[in-house]
A and B are shown apart, each in its own frame.
Chain A
Amino acid sequence: MKLTLDRIWFNIFGYAAVILFSLLCLIPFILVISSSVTSESFIIRNGYTLFPQDISFEGYRLSLQNPTAIVNAYGVTILVTVLGTAISVFICTMTGYVLQRKDFKWRNKISFYLFFTTLFNGGLVPWYILCVQYLGLKNTLWSLFIPSLISVWNILIVKGFMRGIPFEITESAKIDGAGDFRIFLSIILPVSKPVVATIGLFTALMYWNDWFASLLFITDERLYTLQYFLYKLVGSVQALRSVMDKAGIVVPTLPVESMKMALTVIVTGPIIFLYPFVQRYFVKGLTIGSVKG
């Protein structure tokens, strides 16, 4: 590439902007990891720092000293993520397949029936009262994944993708005597792996990161999800500290600050660990996901 003056200016601005923003995205993570392995007394004296100076694993030791709660929260989150994702992907792909079948007369009416809910809804309050008072979802495992099982956007993405599969495949299978559900399950689904992977990953991420359902429906500690557990714990450690401060008790031995950051690392861990492997599927997914309603 010839380096003309406009190129030089463009490159200076370009590299500067890209590097700067990339660093801004990275630094908070380093800060959290560094704080999680810094001793409490150092944090109290000097605050959180970008590089750990007085290394101590006290925060981790204390977080994992009584691991029942964390292990339990991991269990709930994994269960909700696996169940929710499997059911959601199954229903959304099945619905998407039917709604693009040209020989299905009601496809446009049903598509509109689904799409309309993305334009208008009853709001949080009636939805909450329905879930709690009429469906009895409060403090149940169901409340963590059933209300969010159907994503109309995912159905539309599947529909758009499957439109690209020749209709002749369905037709010839029909002539061979296969039923509609069989066609979907053993012919269409296997050739739709890219779209299944995409909506599957987005759905799994949604369930893994969800805390709103817990915030609304869960008070039973055994049903805390990982995110909600962290949210609650950071809050209660803070509460504990302010009570101690007010009572004039100084307890520097309790590594509250480093423990918070250690818990943040424990909760974020799996995502950061999986990120390099799944990132490209998300990127691919965003590009096949660009369909119109």
Chain B
Amino acid sequence: MAQLEALNKRRNGFWRELTKNKVLILMVLPAVLHVFVFAYLPMGGIILAFKQFRYAEGIFGSPWVGFENFKFLFISGQAWIVTKNTLLYNAMFIAVNTVMQIGLAIFLSELAGKYFKKVTQSLMFLPYFISWVIVGSIAYNLFNFEHGALNSVLGAFGADPLDIYNTPSYWPLILVLFNAWKGVGYGMVIYLAAIVSIDTEMYEAAEIDGANIFQRIRHITLPSIIPTVVILTLLAIGGIFRGDFGLFYQLIGDNGMLRDQTDIIDTFVYRALTQTSEIGMAAAVGFYQSVMCFALIMVANWLVKKVQDDYALF
């Protein structure tokens, strides 16, 4: 009886909330429905990873194959290659970008010249605004074997031209550079904002005490921006299993010569989905990627929470 009463009360609470705040609920409804359709429904589609997909039979009609898709991917070695590439490239991207962003932000904050700072900051932020299609076109302009600017320069010095698009070993460096080129300005602006908000009295006091500029950076600037560094790096590590499809696809495309060095999870999934139509395989890799991402962000957040609660994401 008491249980029934409690249940009734709860149900009443639910309906009361629904009628009391019906306008507020209507206001969040578009977002709630959109997320339900485009984010939660596809989660149900994860079962595709355990099926052999046939278009005619749809997601539910296609036959189950258990772990066959995963087995094939891991035994054939493809899963390892794309996982290794995705992780190594992203680790490099995070390290290089973070160091460059912090370094340039510190320089910009300390150097003099209002217009100099304005112009250079604008220039460094500019590549963020163009699409990867344009970046691909720029890369082609630079590295094209016959007419590329790089080979023109090399030719002017009497050096042999480089066949970049057919030589896998150049690509790790090129990808890291282009990723930095496009992304450093964005992060630098965030770090610069963090540095500008540091109390200037600390610097003045340190200067009176005879600290030189390197000591001031080491003991005031860097410790003050650690929360920003931790949060941005945490976000980046949470996405380390997720490759930048635009960067890899627009710079390399379907160039088979470079595949072993430059195939990442996202390009593999795209190819399996659209070209070879191995839907089950593509879904299996996608599922594996989602699970790893989720696990990683949880672990990273948990670790940060243990060390310093304020820096955690959630």
B32 pairs with A110, CB closer than 8 A: yes
Give the interface SS of chain B, mostly helix, strand, loop or mixed: helix
- The verdict on A4 contacting B147 (CB below 8 Å), with A10-B110, A48-B152, A117-B39 known, is no
Chain B, range 35-62, C-beta contacts under 8 Å to A: 35, 37-46, 48, 53, 55, 58-59
A113 pairs with B35, CB closer than 8 A: yes
In the bound complex, what is the Cα–Cα distance between A44 and B21 (angstroms)?
69
Q: Which residues of A contact B287 (CB under 8 A)?
A: 122-123
Q: Which residues of A contact B283 (CB under 8 A)?
A: 123, 125-126
- The verdict on A287 contacting B190 (CB below 8 Å), with A98-B27, A101-B24, A128-B273 known, is yes
CB distance from B175 to the nearest CB of A (A): 15
B46 pairs with A119, CB closer than 8 A: no
A126 pairs with B43, CB closer than 8 A: yes
Chain B, range 223-241, C-beta contacts under 8 Å to A: 228, 231, 238
Question: Which of B39, B121, B141, B151 contacts A35 (CB under 8 A)?
Answer: B141
CB distance from A45 to the nearest CB of B (A): 9
In the bound complex, what is the Cα–Cα distance between A130 and B34 (angstroms)?
13
Chain B, range 79-138, C-beta contacts under 8 Å to A: 100, 103-104, 107-108, 110-112, 119-127, 129-134, 136-138
Question: Which of A115, A124, A152 contacts B286 (CB under 8 A)?
Answer: A124
Q: Which residues of B contact A286 (CB under 8 A)?
A: 186, 189-190, 193
B27 pairs with A124, CB closer than 8 A: no
Question: Which of B126, B274, B289 contacts A25 (CB under 8 A)?
Answer: B126
A261 to chain B: closest residue by CB = B141
Is A184 an interface residue when CB atoms closer than 8 A count as contact? Answer: yes
Chain B, range 173-219, C-beta contacts under 8 Å to A: 181, 184-186, 189-190, 193, 212-214
- The verdict on A99 contacting B28 (CB below 8 Å), with A114-B35, A260-B137 known, is yes
In the bound complex, what is the Cα–Cα distance between A4 and B213 (angstroms)?
9
A-B contact count (CB 8 A): 273
Q: Which of B4-12, B70-78, B256-264, B290-298 contacts A (4 or more CB under 8 A)?
A: B290-298
In the bound complex, what is the Cα–Cα distance between A105 and B13 (angstroms)?
10
A271 pairs with B35, CB closer than 8 A: no
In the bound complex, what is the Cα–Cα distance between A135 and B33 (angstroms)?
14
CB distance from A61 to the nearest CB of B (A): 19
Q: Which residues of A contact B100 (CB under 8 A)?
A: 21
A24 pairs with B137, CB closer than 8 A: no
Q: Which of A63-71, A78-86, A247-255, A275-283 contacts B (4 or more CB under 8 A)?
A: A275-283
B125 pairs with A43, CB closer than 8 A: no
A95 pairs with B27, CB closer than 8 A: yes
In the bound complex, what is the Cα–Cα distance between A31 and B34 (angstroms)?
43
A180 pairs with B23, CB closer than 8 A: yes
Q: Which residues of A contact B124 (CB under 8 A)?
A: 21-22, 25
How big is chain A's contact interface, by range? 35 or more
CB distance from B292 to the nearest CB of A (A): 11
Q: Which residues of A contact B279 (CB under 8 A)?
A: 125, 129
CB distance from B226 to the nearest CB of A (A): 14
- The verdict on A230 contacting B45 (CB below 8 Å), with A22-B120, A46-B152, A125-B269 known, is no
Is A179 an interface residue when CB atoms closer than 8 A count as contact? Answer: yes
Is A7 an interface residue when CB atoms closer than 8 A count as contact? Answer: yes
Q: Which of A160-168, A189-197, A205-213 contacts B (4 or more CB under 8 A)?
A: A205-213
In the bound complex, what is the Cα–Cα distance between A212 and B270 (angstroms)?
11
Q: Which residues of B contact A136 (CB under 8 A)?
A: none
Is B140 an interface residue when CB atoms closer than 8 A count as contact? Answer: yes
Q: Which residues of B contact A22 (CB under 8 A)?
A: 119-120, 123-124
Q: Which residues of A contact B21 (CB under 8 A)?
A: 103-106, 180
Q: Which residues of B contact A26 (CB under 8 A)?
A: 123, 126
Is A62 an interface residue when CB atoms closer than 8 A count as contact? Answer: no
Chain A, range 258-283, C-beta contacts under 8 Å to B: 260-261, 264, 267-268, 271-272, 275-276, 279, 282-283
Question: Which of A14, A21, A28, A283 contacts B141 (CB under 8 A)?
Answer: A28
A48 pairs with B147, CB closer than 8 A: yes
A181 pairs with B294, CB closer than 8 A: no
Is A76 an interface residue when CB atoms closer than 8 A count as contact? Answer: no
In the bound complex, what is the Cα–Cα distance between A261 and B121 (angstroms)?
26
B55 to chain A: closest residue by CB = A133
B43 pairs with A122, CB closer than 8 A: yes
A104 pairs with B120, CB closer than 8 A: no
CB distance from B41 to the nearest CB of A (A): 6
Is A173 an interface residue when CB atoms closer than 8 A count as contact? Answer: no
Question: Which of B46, B103, B132 contacts A211 (CB under 8 A)?
Answer: B132
List, sorted by A's number, 11 A–B pairs whose CB atoms are closer than 8 Å: A48-B144, A48-B147, A94-B28, A98-B24, A125-B48, A126-B46, A129-B45, A129-B279, A152-B35, A231-B133, A268-B130
- Shortest 4 CB-CB contacts between residues of A and residues of B: A126-B45, A123-B286, A122-B42, A47-B152
- Given A47-B151, A92-B31, A290-B228, 12 additional A-B pairs, CB 8 A: A14-B107, A15-B107, A21-B100, A22-B119, A32-B138, A104-B21, A113-B35, A122-B43, A123-B287, A152-B35, A268-B130, A286-B190
